[in-house]
Amino acid sequence: MKMKRVSASVVACIAAFSLAVPSQADVRALKLVSPLTNNMVLQREMDVPVWGTAAPKERITVSFNEQRKQTTADEAGKWNVVLSPMKAGGPHEMIIEGEASKVTLENVLIGEVWICTGQSNMDFPLGAFRAKYDAQVEAADMTDVRLVNFDTKGNGTVWQECTPTTASTFSATGFFFGRELYRKLGVPIGLIEGALGGTQLETWMSPAAAEECPGLKWGQLYKWKVVGENYPQIKAMMPYAIRGAIWYQGEMNGTANTGHTYAHHFAAMVKHWRKDWGLGDFPVLYVQLPNFLKRQTDDPKDDSQRGWPALREAQRMCLNLKNTGMAVTIDIGMADNIHPTNKLDVGRRLALNARALVYGEKELVYSGPLYQDMEIKEDRIRLNFTHVGAGLVSATGEKLKGFGIAGDDRQFVWADAVIDGDSVIVSSPEIPDPKHVVYAWAINPIISLYNKEGLPASPFRTWTDPPPKDYKDFAKPKTELESETNPTGREKETFG
């Protein structure tokens, strides 16, 4: 849906509001902070907070889209109002009036809003891949898709419309995710980016999240990074109304060999993001680590190059968390580049999750095959899968590869693997009494299993290790959205 634009002029001069939190010295001026700026996209069908600062006890009126809300600033000069849920549309003008000044925000749209966070593979802009995506940038005339960016201190920019001039500054992953949603939903899309290269998951935790995790203390070093040091980027976005979050992170944790705690820390981080935002269990869609470095050769269970296989397994376990989805990217990484250039398929696969789990496309196949359980019968193991779509296939049409099989000793050998309906049967004459299976277990594994929709199977192992000391057990991952209500807590509906 193409939105009609209005003049970008501002009724009050730009200095009437600041993009930084005001100091005590200027708290009497009526001010707003990013992401409340010109060109913003507000979340449709949800309560929309608007907040800022003014003189203590000053009367504030917010007028927007036929709504008029009033409040009074508190003793510290802080104020907020909540706009009632609205349908997608725009552009609109928002007027915020105090007793002595007024701020006007122009070209405001209503649509779908997602935060985009994680480390460098979320942070890398589209312009970093210009050789690959020149045509995509030149065709990026989508002014209803917009981006605002937050730095490490929590300072936000002004929202930017997506045009051939500005598209190169957008997160590449976020751009392709947002473009896909825009094409499918036909409503404005707002992307709020807060990402930074080289960060561990633990740096994105709130103090309360860190407190729940044994061995973590907010503000102190864990492995190579300070726990919580990037949380200000997330905190500064609150309480802006959002539909959900996309997350691309894990490289640093995999290298630090923290796969054994990753699922627990991810669960705590997400739990407290949701609690702090006050929007209920909003969707969190994330990217499983891609393939990288030297290709797997001799060892069916190869842990010799960093801890990425265990980290991917932890990410698979994170599907246990309510309202989560995972984009498998084990086939689109690069051996010589930790920043693989194929961000188009990353964004598309995240969008598939959103379309199915959030926007109600119930028949859409949004994931590759996910291991469910196994059955041992004599010298063979039957592996059962969910998300088989129209059927399981070998990527090449030839014999399946990448499966390892072992007995109780977990000394793995390559397995013979055959598709049988929604299952794969594995065996080896070297293992007469099989107990365990691995698939695609290496930093750059041999892979072969897909569904007919062209989505790759996630790497997996068939057993779960005991939780680390002082951690609770992590349940078997669920592979479907289980709630009958949408993330806002209202009756489940389709946002089409």
- For 10-32, the pLDDT digits (tens) are 333 333 333 334 444 444 689 99
pTM score, two decimals? 0.90
Stretch 54-65: mean pLDDT: 97
The predicted pLDDT at position 28 comes to: 66
- Asked whether the predicted pLDDT for residue 361 surpasses 90, the reply is yes
In the block, tokens 């006050």 appear at 278
Q: How far is CA 92 from the centre of its chain?
A: 29
The predicted pLDDT at position 7 comes to: 39
Which residue would you say has higher pLDDT here, 177 or 1? 177
The predicted pLDDT at position 309 comes to: 97
The predicted pLDDT at position 468 comes to: 86
Taking only the tens place, the pLDDT of each residue in 436-465 is 999 999 999 999 999 999 999 999 999 998
The closest alpha carbon to 42, from 79, 9, 89, belongs to: 89
- Asked whether the predicted pLDDT for residue 41 surpasses 90, the reply is yes
Spell out the domains of the chain, with CATH numbers in brackets. 14-108 (2.60.40), 110-357 (3.40.50.1110), 370-454 (no CATH)
% of the chain beyond a pLDDT of 90: 85
**127-141, 162-176, 267-281, 476-490: least confident range:** 476-490
- Asked whether the predicted pLDDT for residue 45 surpasses 90, the reply is yes
The predicted pLDDT at position 474 comes to: 61
The predicted pLDDT at position 359 comes to: 98
Taking only the tens place, the pLDDT of each residue in 71-117 is 999 999 999 999 999 999 999 999 999 999 999 999 999 999 999 99
- Asked whether the predicted pLDDT for residue 478 surpasses 60, the reply is no
- Asked whether the predicted pLDDT for residue 2 surpasses 70, the reply is no
| SS3 category, 16 | helix
Measured distance CA(149)–CA(175) in Å, rounded: 13
Q: How far is CA 328 from the centre of its chain?
A: 13
Rounded to the nearest integer, the mean pLDDT of the chain is 90
The predicted pLDDT at position 492 comes to: 31
H helix or E strand, kind and range, residue 104: strand 102-118
- Asked whether the predicted pLDDT for residue 8 surpasses 70, the reply is no
Answer yes or no: are the C-beta atoms of 20 and 88 closer than 8 Å.
no
